[in-house]
A and B are shown apart, each in its own frame.
Chain A
Amino acid sequence: ELKVEQNPLFLSMQEGKNYTIYCNYSTTSDRLYWYRQDPGKSLESLFVLLSNGAVKQEGRLMASLDTKARLSTLHITAAVHDLSATYFCAVDMADTGNQFYFGTGTSLTVIP
């Protein structure tokens, strides 16, 4: 069974600050996904990382993937209140790509 761990689980940060969310996974996979979920809402896709060294950026968010270390990071630059949400990483199995495993999520609160 593949395990996906995120840290921190809860993050409270001031507007304008930078921070990084970490996602570790336990077995071989070269596909990693980041999603955002607002309270009471569905999940929205942020990034798809498909190879070792992949880096994607959108606005104040940047995601990267190190498949050798089995680690992905989601970096937040100059946080704003609108980024307050829960962020999930997810991994699918390298062989079939059908079994999906989500991390427990990082609940981010950006304080004005």
Chain B
Amino acid sequence: NAGVTQTPKFRILKIGQSMTLQCAQDMNHNYMYWYRQDPGMGLKLIYYSVGAGITDKGEVPNGYNVSRSTTEDFPLRLELAAPSQTSVYFCASRDNHYQPQHFGDGTRLSIL
């Protein structure tokens, strides 16, 4: 059982480049989330989705976009990467409001 799978694990981008962080879950969870974690800090919610075709902004959405065309996949798009987006990005999913989130292993992104 793979759970939540994030790719890539590491990436270095130049300022102004774009990329997509992939997230897939095989648990048939409706709820999916994207977070960023800056060094020594807690997680900040970027975007979330309550089901295929439905997405909404979290606490820090600026500079990011998401889509949810299937239940399994929830990619996060960075357009025009900036140094402030250097962070560790975690994807998570859960079954319903009363369950904890299951987290992927994270993507470590550096923008130089």
A residues sitting closer than 8 Å to B (CB atoms) are 1, 4, 31, 33, 35, 41-45, 48, 50, 88, 90, 92, 97-105
Contacts and interface: CB of A to CB of B under 8 A. Distances in A.
A101 B101 CA distance: 12
A63 to B, nearest CB: 12
24 contacts: A35-B100, A42-B90, A42-B106, A43-B43, A43-B90, A43-B103, A44-B103, A45-B102, A48-B98, A98-B31, A98-B56, A99-B45, A99-B59, A100-B33, A100-B58, A100-B101, A101-B45, A101-B59, A102-B42, A102-B43, A102-B44, A103-B42, A105-B40, A105-B41
Contacts of B31: 98
A104 B40 CA distance: 8
A50 B42 contact: no
Interface string B75-112: 00000000000000010100001111111111000000
Contact of A48 (B48, B99, B103): B99
Interface residues of B, number: 26
A90 B50 CA distance: 18
Q: Name the 9 nearest CB pairs between A and B, nearest first.
A: A45-B100, A97-B97, A102-B42, A102-B43, A43-B103, A42-B103, A104-B42, A42-B105, A48-B100
Interface of B: 31, 33, 35, 40-45, 48, 50, 56, 58-59, 90, 92, 97-106
